[in-house]
């Protein structure tokens, strides 16, 4: 088995790519012709990682991106020209330093993109699986355009997978990576979006929710207080009026989930943290001073060493004072945790 050394960054498989797939499916169900483009490789400076999607309809309307804007027009043109039944078009772009500078890149680079016709049933299953937080891997034959989707339910789709291709797809699926297999197929994993659950519909949360969505998180805010859980205060954000422990018990908190408790009400914060500490969440944070957190740890002392997972006071110490500044500090620490950067040593 020959695997090219091409991988996507799992941290870049964010909410925006989930939305691209959902948009493509919506367009197809509305009778629109849709062609997909996916980044297969990058060298040098690249604003979009391997695996990044773009959907294009017959009129040139597009969702997502494959670069910082320097090759989108060419990809859209190729997508519109792709005939029904035609094999994928494999495009290579060299971005000169001058062009790269114009679109905000520090230097030039190269991008390799595949443009292909998506299989509607596979697209639907990928979107459904992402919503259920079940990973899948799309296998695209670069010669014929035939596709298969590999997941916990097995393999579906018209592309027949031999042992080499199946093992490669399963390997990428387990690692959350993408790659070209023996110059014949491209494997693109689909994982659940990075998700942020915030307990407490407070002022800080209003700012944090919007910024976190821009940074690629799917955001859900939970608060049992109806005066706080007002949809008018959180436009575009999933808002649930309920007790944190009950709501979190109904949500899958996996390694792509983060929980931040900002209620500043001991009963609510403690309930949210208990639920989060019993999960695989990659980041758990709580608002409050060092003294407040010490009291919190006394109340939760039965949880023992697990308390060290709590980032408290939440966020990087940047001297933040206002709700917006505190939100910035929290998001910065969230991103660092998502990227695997060293975190603070907990006491």
pLDDT digits (tens, 9 = 90+) for 107-152: 556 789 999 999 999 999 999 998 888 999 999 999 999 999 999 8
Q: What percent of the chain has pLDDT over 70?
A: 87
> Which residues are within 8 A (CB) of 26 and not within 5 positions of it... i.e. 6 or more apart?
none
Find out whether 122 and 157 touch, Cβ atoms under 8 Å.
yes
Domains in the chain and their CATH numbers?
A: 12-96+103-118 (no CATH), 119-192 (no CATH), 195-339 (3.40.50.720)
Q: Is the pLDDT of residue 240 over 50?
A: yes
Residues facing 95 on adjacent strands: 109
pLDDT score at 199: 98
Tokens read off for 229: 């859980």
pLDDT tens per residue, range 255-271: 999 999 999 899 999 99
Q: Are 68 and 45 in contact (CB under 8 A)?
A: no
Q: With bands split at pLDDT 50, 70 and 90, how would you rate the model's confidence at 18?
A: confident
Mean of the per-residue pLDDT values of the chain:
88
Give the pLDDT of residue 11.
44
Taking a C-beta distance cutoff of 8 angstroms, is the pair 17, 52 a contact? Answer: yes
What is the C-alpha separation between 76 and 63, in angstroms, rounded? Answer: 11
The token pair that represents 67 in the structure block? 């670069």
Buried b (16+ CB within 10 A) or exposed e, 7-43: bbebbbbbbbbbbbbbbbbebbeeeeebbbbbbbbbe
Lowest mean pLDDT among 94-103, 125-134, 259-268, 285-294: 94-103
End-to-end CA distance of the chain: 47
Distance (Å, rounded) from C-alpha 126 to C-alpha 343?
33
| Cα–Cα dist 150/117, whole Å | 18
Q: Is 130 exposed, middle or buried (0-12, 13-18, 19+ CB in 10 A)?
A: buried
Tokens of 237: 């954000």
Percent over 90 (pLDDT), the chain: 74
pTM given for the model: 0.77
């Amino acid at each position: 088995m020959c695997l090219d050394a091409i991988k996507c960054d799992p941290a870049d498989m964010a909410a925006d790519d989930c939305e691209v797939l959902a948009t493509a499916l919506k367009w197809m169900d509305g009778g629109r012709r849709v062609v997909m483009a996916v980044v297969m490789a990058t060298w040098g400076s690249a604003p979009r990682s391997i695996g990044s999607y773009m959907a294009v309809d017959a009129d040139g309307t597009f969702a997502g991106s494959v670069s910082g804007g320097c090759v989108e027009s060419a990809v859209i043109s190729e997508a519109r020209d792709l005939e029904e039944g035609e094999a994928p078009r494999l495009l290579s772009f060299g971005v000169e330093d001058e062009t790269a500078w114009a679109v905000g890149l520090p230097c030039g680079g190269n991008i390799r993109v595949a443009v292909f016709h998506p299989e509607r049933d596979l697209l639907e299953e990928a979107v459904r699986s992402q919503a259920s937080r079940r990973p899948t891997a799309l296998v695209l034959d670069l010669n014929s355009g035939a596709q298969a989707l590999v997941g916990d339910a097995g393999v579906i789709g018209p592309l027949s997978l031999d042992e080499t291709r199946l093992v490669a797809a399963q390997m990428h699926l387990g690692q959350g990576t993408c790659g070209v297999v023996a110059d014949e197929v491209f494997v693109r994993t689909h994982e659940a979006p990075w998700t942020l659950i915030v307990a407490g519909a407070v002022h800080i949360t209003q700012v944090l929710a919007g910024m976190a969505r821009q940074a690629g998180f799917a955001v859900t805010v939970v608060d049992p207080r109806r005066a706080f859980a007002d949809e008018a205060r959180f436009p575009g954000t999933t808002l649930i009026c309920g007790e944190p422990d009950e709501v979190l018990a109904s949500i899958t908190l996996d390694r792509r989930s983060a929980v931040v408790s900002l209620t500043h009400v001991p009963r609510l914060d403690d309930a949210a943290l208990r639920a989060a500490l019993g999960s695989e969440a990659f980041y758990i944070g709580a608002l409050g001073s060092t003294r407040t957190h010490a009291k919190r740890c006394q109340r939760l002392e039965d949880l023992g060493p697990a308390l060290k997972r709590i980032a408290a006071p939440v966020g990087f110490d940047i001297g933040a004072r206002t709700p917006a500044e505190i939100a910035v500090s929290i998001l910065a620490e969230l991103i660092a945790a998502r990227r695997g950067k060293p975190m603070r040593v907990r006491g």
